Structure 1
Amino acid sequence: MTTHPVTETEATQASPGTAHPTRPRGRGKNVRWSIALLCFGGLAVNYLDRSTLSVALPTMSKDLHIGPETQGFILSAFFLTYALCQLPAGALLDRFGVKRVFAIGAIWWSVATVGMGLVRGVGTLVGARLLLGAGEAAGYPAPAKAVSRWFPRHERTLANSVWDNGARVGTAIALPLVTLLVSAFHWRVAFISCGLLGFLWIIGWWRLYHEPADHPKVTGEERAYIEAGGARVEETPAESAAAAQVRWRDLFRYRTVWGMMLGFFCLNYVVYFFITWFPSYLVDERGFDLLKLGFFGTVPGLVAIAGSLLGGFTADRLLRKGWSTTKVRKTCLVSGTLCSSVIALAVVVPTAAGALALLSLSYASLTFATASVASLPADVAPTAGHVASLAGIQNFASNVAGALGPIVTGYLLASSGGSYLVPLLVSGALSIVGALTYAFVIKSVEPLQAR
């Protein structure tokens, strides 16, 4: 077994006592955080565009004569191409670079969003939805790779939590924005407007994103700080030779990769309960009316944003204190997923307030762990040219759970007469399975060795 040649990076990641380089201070020496915010904007638009249909569907279904059974198929069609295209999207990002591939993906999904505003029937709507999923597949592995190149190891988790919160912000603003556009104009205007918003972000991305070595505003001091801190920068000739030893398909031979996939599958299964069935739970199980739903239904999402930032801050703080990468990741991943299992207790507490508190804690615990999940590809990639590939593989597994979770929950509700007891018990059990996976299936968090 031959180890890859990035000995400095590997030593930085594996040695608990390694001293971190001094952070540059002063104006103009934190360009890397503008990159994280740029990725945040991209993911916010990504989730806004995918959520537009959910908000506009009740109105457009009347115009296009779409029945309830067909609506479910249209909504789920997105996940078919989105999950499958995670795999090639990651490989393309590693091969052709973040700037180009993320821009092409954004153009693709923006065109598909505008196209949904022009459809005349179910067939073209399903086609546009499938195209949307394929284009949006770059939305997760691209920021993960960008952060791996721009941030030292001990700042990477917080940076990942910044862009990952774009998903929650984009989903949150979709409801009021799309509702306003549909009510004031037409559902077609809502799709076209949201699609055009994507093109505005693309212009900003193309003008503002550069690699650390090429950015016109980054100082030599900041660049040195990024590289000395273990950022996964451009491959050296030696790394390129090592990359040839670990082909894309070879990544599936590693126990760590399967642990990443299974762990994120379990975590995202529970996350999708909040994205899909959570409003129905509040209405059906806790008797919320629309007013209460609109006000209290936003609480878990807001708490989840704080949980994500806390997860990023905590992990980076522990790394700076000298904890090993393995100890930090396992601490955050296991504690976050294990704590999220309190979702199972929401069905037994007597009050709606108590249930809402438990659900908020569960969602925040999930996002606390997600900050470290997004950092795993950069932590374990054998070379810098494998980061996005691993991110795509990991996110593929998570979106299989995203597609299956709502279906399984619906089936369990139907078979139990509408009771949420079993669905939430299953979610809680999967949280525990996820914690056990991160604890025992992944042995150590370090760069994979070429075989």
Structure 2
Amino acid sequence: MPPAPGTAPTRRTKIRWLMVLLAFLAIAINYVDRANLSVALPYMNAELGLSPELSGLLLGAFFWTYSVFQIPLGRLVDRFGTKVMFAAAVAWWSLFTAATAVARGFASLFAVRLLLGLGEAGAFPACTKLVEEWFPRRERATASGIYDSGARGGTMLAIPIVTALVMWLGWRGSFVITGSIGLVWVAVWWWLYRRPREHPWVSEAELEHIEQDAAAQTSEADQVRWQDLLRNRTVWGMALGFACQAFVIYFFITWFPSYLVDERGFSLLELGIFGTLPGIVAFAGNFLGGAVSDRLVRRGHSLTFARKSCIVGGMLGSSVIALAAVVDSSWLALALLAFSFGSVTFATTCIVTLPTDIAPRSAKSCSGTIQGIQNAASNVAGAVSPALIGLIYGFTGSFVGGLVAAGAVAVLACLIYLFVVGDIEPLPLPEGATHQSAAADSNA
């Protein structure tokens, strides 16, 4: 029910931006919690004696469960709502981040990383649902860029923060502190989050702005089955394209600190200072990608052009990661990696917006499920990428082969989005496949 007359301000409020700020903070915490292992790993090896091959398996273990549980948790987000599922996901992964402190070797570390990935699988489907609930179509890429930039912010902050915590408290203490931050977020989220029509701070003017696309809703059908979504070529193309994006981006999340230290000879101090530069560029890339795409929509371009042009241009720019492997100068390599990271995040903003663009126009949207499908495929690549790069590094003693492979995969992504993904428009509701009832959201 909407707020009673007089309980909400009449001017257009901007509570939708507060909601997406909460999502940004959750994703930032998410990426600190998943990236802290890559930062702490060089210092954990001295105590635990992990080889490069075992380190690669540890860095990739998170993605095994993260991939498998994307579709189930995306489905649960669509079924039970953003508020409950986002809170549950953050609480789960925060507890298992802190539990890393009690690990005593490869087996216990591997188990904790698997459980961490299970909880974090709910993050992006919940953010997608939030954007669909709180933003009109012409603002969704900007909103998606804001929450997705939390991934870059978290990755960027993980390097100096975790490095400082390791130096101060040791690697075990660093996991306890970073895990505790998420539990604070859960308390704030539970207090603040409501759906637009249930939030007492939202004015009628903002509610009308948010719901300006509601007239385009054409069906009261029950929730679309995920099996029917998997039969759609555009959904498959999105999944494969996002997998290519993940192969590139997870180098920065996993092996990047080790690359600077082992391959380019950066000291701990240089890593803490200069290792943040690609993250800063990537952070800006998220905002720029969303702003450019939404501006193209407002200027009358089709969603297909507005989204695909930014995705293809960004992924093509990210392919310069291959050049970073072969240049002699460490500082030029760092600059190329920064450009690559910024380009791939420019593309990522539109990639994570696509589920809200193509979700069928039904009263019971399946945007969380679609995000889960493309995330599941992307994080199979997230598991393969660090393990493969670790194997290449272990056998050759160099990151060159892994970075060249990443550049080739970036070009492959361009081809997929151009020729496999179809027009960016709401998918038709499949006949006879819309009768799987979904329980009412429990966001209140």
- Does the alignment reach a TM-score above 0.5? yes
Residues 113-124 of structure 1 mapped to structure 2, 5 A cutoff: 113-119=97-103, 123-124=107-108
Match of 2:381 in 1: 401
Match of 1:311 in 2: 289
Match of 1:299 in 2: 277
Q: Does 1:79 align with 2:63?
A: yes
1:143 deviates by: 0.7
Residues 45-444 of structure 1 mapped to structure 2, 5 A cutoff: 45-57=29-41, 65=48, 67-68=50-51, 70-119=54-103, 123-229=107-213, 238-241=219-222, 243=223, 246-382=224-360, 383=362, 384-415=364-395, 417-444=396-423
C-alpha offsets along residues 247-290 of structure 1, whole Å, 9 cap, x if unaligned? 11111100001110111111111111222333444445544444
Q: Aligned partners of 1:187 and 1:414: how far apart in 2?
A: 24
Q: Does the 8 Å CA contact 2:163/2:272 hold for their aligned counterparts?
A: no
Q: Aligned partners of 1:77 and 1:97: how far apart in 2?
A: 28
1:299 deviates by: 1.4
Farther-moved stretch of structure 1 (378-387 vs 184-193) = 184-193
Q: How many residues align?
A: 419
Q: Does the 8 Å CA contact 1:157/1:315 hold for their aligned counterparts?
A: yes
1:127 deviates by: 2.9
Q: Aligned partners of 1:61 and 1:287: how far apart in 2?
A: 18
Q: Counterpart of 2:111 in structure 1: which amino acid?
A: G
Q: Does the 8 Å CA contact 1:157/1:313 hold for their aligned counterparts?
A: yes
Give the secondary structure class of the aligned counterpart of 1:240. coil
1:181 deviates by: 3.4
Give the secondary structure class of the aligned counterpart of 2:196. coil
Q: Structure 2 vs 1, CA of residues 120 and 435 (structure 1 numbering), >3 Å: closer, same or farther?
A: closer
Q: Structure 2 vs 1, CA of residues 125 and 411 (structure 1 numbering), >3 Å: closer, same or farther?
A: closer
1:66 deviates by: 5.0
Q: Aligned partners of 2:200 and 2:136: how far apart in 1?
A: 19
Q: Does the 8 Å CA contact 2:157/2:276 hold for their aligned counterparts?
A: no
Q: Aligned partners of 1:288 and 1:120: how far apart in 2?
A: 28
Give the secondary structure class of the aligned counterpart of 2:126. helix
RMSD of aligned alpha carbons: 2.5
Give the secondary structure class of the aligned counterpart of 1:253. coil
Q: Aligned partners of 1:118 and 1:280: how far apart in 2?
A: 23
Q: Does the 8 Å CA contact 1:149/1:231 hold for their aligned counterparts?
A: no
Q: Counterpart of 1:29 in structure 2: which amino acid?
A: T
C-alpha offsets along residues 119-149 of structure 1, whole Å, 9 cap, x if unaligned? 4565444333222111111111111110111
Match of 2:5 in 1: none
1:111 deviates by: 1.9
Q: Aligned partners of 1:430 and 1:60: how far apart in 2?
A: 31
Q: Aligned partners of 2:161 and 2:286: how far apart in 1?
A: 24
Normalized against structure 1, the TM-score is what?
A: 0.85
C-alpha offsets along residues 403-422 of structure 1, whole Å, 9 cap, x if unaligned? 1112222333455x344443
1:362 deviates by: 1.4
Match of 2:425 in 1: 446
1:444 deviates by: 0.2
Q: Aligned partners of 2:256 and 2:234: how far apart in 1?
A: 32
Q: Structure 2 vs 1, CA of residues 197 and 356 (structure 1 numbering), >3 Å: closer, same or farther?
A: closer
Q: Aligned partners of 1:292 and 1:103: how far apart in 2?
A: 37
Q: Structure 2 vs 1, CA of residues 296 and 323 (structure 1 numbering), >3 Å: closer, same or farther?
A: same
Farther-moved stretch of structure 1 (36-45 vs 66-75) = 66-75
Match of 1:6 in 2: none
Q: Does the 8 Å CA contact 2:100/2:175 hold for their aligned counterparts?
A: yes
Q: Does the 8 Å CA contact 1:117/1:192 hold for their aligned counterparts?
A: yes
C-alpha offsets along residues 364-414 of structure 1, whole Å, 9 cap, x if unaligned? 110000010010000011135210000011111111111111222233345
C-alpha offsets along residues 20-39 of structure 1, whole Å, 9 cap, x if unaligned? xxxxx997611100011000
Q: Aligned partners of 1:115 and 1:277: how far apart in 2?
A: 22
Normalized against structure 2, the TM-score is what?
A: 0.87
Q: Aligned partners of 2:343 and 2:80: how far apart in 1?
A: 35
Q: Counterpart of 2:227 in structure 1: which amino acid?
A: R
Q: Aligned partners of 2:107 and 2:407: how far apart in 1?
A: 38
Give the secondary structure class of the aligned counterpart of 1:200. helix
Q: Aligned partners of 2:211 and 2:293: how far apart in 1?
A: 20
Q: Does the 8 Å CA contact 1:168/1:301 hold for their aligned counterparts?
A: yes
Q: Structure 2 vs 1, CA of residues 231 and 412 (structure 1 numbering), >3 Å: closer, same or farther?
A: farther
Q: Does the 8 Å CA contact 2:58/2:110 hold for their aligned counterparts?
A: yes
For structure 2, which runs of at least 5 residues remain unmatched after alignment?
Answer: 1-8, 431-444
